Amino acid sequence: MENKTLKVLKPVVKVLALISIALGLLAVAILVLYNFSDILTIYTDEGTKYADGFSYPGYQTIFSGFGNMIIQGYTETTFNIWTFLGCFLPLIGCIVASVMLATNFARRGTNKKKAIVEGIVAVFLIFGGIVLYNVDKLWIANAKAVTGSYTYYYEAYLMPAINGELYFGKDYFPTVVLVICLIAGLVKAVNCGLLLFQKYYARKVNRQNVEIK
């Protein structure tokens, strides 16, 4: 006779796997959109470069910040390893995890492998969400460290805007990324734990059945 706990666990694990795949794909879409969405907005005083305002797309916060046009010898921020990792670790991880969960959906004996991948991706998602939410702080630090540009963007534009001449701030999309990544990460963490519990509980039940026989 099948153990009652295992009988309940089987459909729960399957449903949670489907939810995890769906949230993983949603996270992939959101992380791709991050690169092309408005992430940071700056307004500077009348007569200056950003008097009409400018919103930085996500790819500039990752690879290279150049503002509203590419000008030779002018750099606002350089490649940022933290935003790069925050975007692409969970993005690639979610793709791998979704493929693994889908291709091994009904295959027996793969719980441990799926759990390990889900656990790692959960960490990536939570890390990525927090990092990309703090993109404004990382942007400021990276801009401050730029050297060799013919105009020092940090002093000329960014600091006056931060100090109220006129505005520098984060747009709504980093918050969306944080919420989606945290939800997907938590679901994947729960899925990881449930997969491991199912595996080791089933092993325990099988061992007990052998002893009874």
pLDDT tens series, the chain, 213 aa: 457 777 888 889 899 999 999 999 999 999 999 999 999 999 999 988 999 999 999 999 999 999 999 999 999 999 999 999 999 999 999 999 999 999 887 677 688 899 999 999 999 999 999 999 999 999 999 999 998 888 999 999 999 999 988 999 999 999 999 999 999 999 999 999 999 998 887 777 666 665 555
CATH class of the domain comprising 4-207: mainly alpha
| 30-36 own/partner pairs: CB under 8 Å, 24+ apart | 30/176, 30/177, 30/180, 30/181, 31/87, 31/88, 31/90, 31/91, 31/94, 31/128, 31/177, 31/181, 32/91, 33/173, 34/58, 34/87, 34/132, 34/173, 34/174, 34/177, 35/59, 35/62, 35/87
Name the residue ranges covered by the structural domains of the chain. Answer: 4-207
pTM above 0.85?
yes
